[in-house]
Amino acid sequence: MTLTAFAAGQGPDYDATALSAVVRQASFEFYNELLYRDEPAWKGRVISFSGYMVDRPAIGKGKSPYIQLMGNGVNGLISVIAQYDGKLPVKQVYGTDVPVVTTGQHLRFLAEIRTAENFLSVNGVWMYLPVVKLLAIYQQDDAELKRALWVSRELRR
């Protein structure tokens, strides 16, 4: 899967102030085991982590479009199902300077935890994974989370 991202400064018209407020409340300490130990405490919380989009995501029963994201948190593994509300660009624009986001590329994600559900892996193994609402995607080296490559509809003007 390849997603065309937005060039810095040429991205969607999003509300930078609202996005900054969401970033300030984000937890950077999340990993799956924390949710499994106390699911109610994590529902509705915003998290940020480095990781990548999985090429063959887990299979769910929901109708919302989703991707599987994986990474390593400070203290453990992160594997989530990310639902998204805005169209993820899927076509590279040739002849222009548009960065491309691909599966396997290390990125930073900003997401809100919704719940946890059972998903089936391509190997036939059931996994109980956190379901998140994807809020923004950044380059991994954007440590201050200032130049979003993609932003959800709710944060756009």
Contact 19, 151 (CB under 8 A): yes
Would you state the structure tokens that stand for residue 7, as one six-digit string?
Answer: 């060039």
Q: Which residue has the higher pLDDT, 37 or 143?
A: 37
Q: What is the pLDDT of residue 2?
A: 40
Whether the CB-CB separation of 13 and 157 falls below 8 Å is answered with yes
Q: Which domains does the chain have, with CATH numbers?
A: 2-143 (2.40.50)
Q: What is the pLDDT of residue 56?
A: 76
pLDDT beyond 50 at 4: no
pLDDT value of residue 1: 42
pLDDT digit string (tens) for 21-42? 999 999 999 999 999 999 999 9
In terms of C-beta density within 10 A (0-12 exposed, 13-18 middle, 19 or more buried), how is residue 27 classed?
Answer: middle
| Backbone φ and ψ of 115, nearest 5° | -165, -165
Asked if the model's pLDDT at residue 93 lies above 70, the reply is no
Mean pLDDT for 71-83 is: 91
